[in-house]
Structure 1
Amino acid sequence: MDKYRLIEYLQDILYLERTCYEEERILDNLKQQRYAYFNPELKAKEKYNYSYSDNQGFWIGEYLMWAFGISGLPIIILLCIYFVKSNSPSGVAKDRFGYLIAAICIAVLAIVIVIAKTRDELKKEQANNERIKKNNQKIQESNNSFKEQCFTIGNRISQEHDSIERQYKKTCDLLSDYYSTGIIYYKYRDFACIASILEYIESGRAKDLSDAYNLLEEEMRYNNIITKLDTIIAHLNQISMNQLYLYNAISQANRNINNMNNTILNSAKRINAQLERQNDNLESIRYVQEKDSRNLQLIRNLTFYNTFY
């Protein structure tokens, strides 16, 4: 295979690796969004707690107040009559009756005051309960509406997810077919290595795959490049000098990921707001059509590459 064909082959694989990376992360984001919208209690407002008091206490207080008030008055009158008509010559006895009457009056008055105050507190509590009950009803209605909206958005996101998931499987299968030609040694069949190999050959630092493999091993041995994808993603800006092709590929993929997820979520929200119909085309269809069109060309290229091995 001449250098031109080798570069074209490596470009195809790099595109497929980037697309797999891209679609895998789009799916991860959609899964998280779908979970959040299918579990709206994570987002719903919490209802206020009722502050119930036993209404029986209110009525008991009312009854006791009137009972003490009505019964206390005749008792006081009877005691006064008894005091006046008493034949006891002892002034001490009369004084005792006077103290007793005063004590009873004070006790009755205190009980009436306490019960009246309790009644007022119970009335306030009852009014507060009614206010909280109305607020809870409003919040419950809002929560129910919110849940319906969440399920509408969640269903749309789920449809988009399933569409891209099917495309992701096709992309992975096509990438596997490319590697199965045997052109690339199995040790270097990953996103980071392919980007570096292509960069070496296109820049002239390597003439063929053998030179590229040797240069790649040397760079890894001296820690000039990073090949572990998780580390690369965490320190993306650090590879912009020594791994420019990989840096550009991941940066482009990240932009596509953000654009795709934002487009899908905004579309789902527009449907919820009835700005679009539920059966309108999925946003992922346009994405899938673009990928399918490119994949058709890759499949034709693959037929040619298979003639070499």
Structure 2
Amino acid sequence: MLRGNQSHMTEFLLLGLTNDPKQQAWLFASFLVMYLVNVIGNLVIIAAIWGDAHLHTPMYFFLSNLSLVDICFTTVIVPQMLVNLLAQRKTILFAQCLAQMYFFVAFGITDSFLLAAMAIDRYVAICNPLRYTTTMSPRRCHLMVTASWVVSHLHSLAHTVLMGRLSFCGPNVIHHFFCDVQPLLTLSCSDTSVNELLAFTEGSFVIMSPFIFIVVSYVYITRAVLRAPSGGGRYKVFSTCGSHLMVVALFYGTIISVYIRPSSTYSVTKDRVVTVIYTVVTPMLNPFIYSLRNKDMKWALRKLIRKTE
């Protein structure tokens, strides 16, 4: 798959976020701290969920998987970015670039499917509580998570195979801090129409389908909550769903602005900043959003801290 390309291009130069040594120093420190907070925070969430039997429910099962994917998602991007911020020669081999793109796309889409699974779980719990146990059975939850991983990796594999068939014979400078689909397409000297068609059609489908499920689920949830006679019950439901909605807004607000549009409108400066938000900032904030707004998570975290003392 790579033989034809490697005769033309064996490596790419990642320009990153800045060439200013002073800015690179504080960016390195900032991203290192955010990465560590992300990894440690999400590992704590996973440990708290699996260490408390009361949290062995579908909602927290999906949340623990989301935390795992968030760790993988940022690990694909940030370590390489940190190395490049310190290195004099900011290069990445062609094969490594394709591998980074593959896992970035796969974990990003898995994230979106898991957010949709969490929305469906909340819909069933609030709108059909009597059928919740049978509808969201452990077997069905495991199937939903497995399907999320399989579909995401198949979609990413299609992108990677098509990218590997392109020729890269011109400039090898990527105006980005990692190997993303659009920056690579702009460097190809062969016809990229099939790649762009896949990115815009099937790519839009795998990104927007979960988003549509989320929107529809919350329309029904909102309608059911507004019909509830108890004001306290309304507050509890909105409080439970609020964390999930905040994560969805952060994730999809940035993803859609970058990917659901023609490649001709791609802007290096603008999209690089937005990409930092959903690759680094959002995964870092997720543990805080879910733990600070959730009484069950707070209780589980206290139990985890007491066990470690």
Structure index of larger Rg: 1
What TM-score does the superposition give when structure 1 sets the normalisation length?
Answer: 0.25
What TM-score does the superposition give when structure 2 sets the normalisation length?
Answer: 0.25
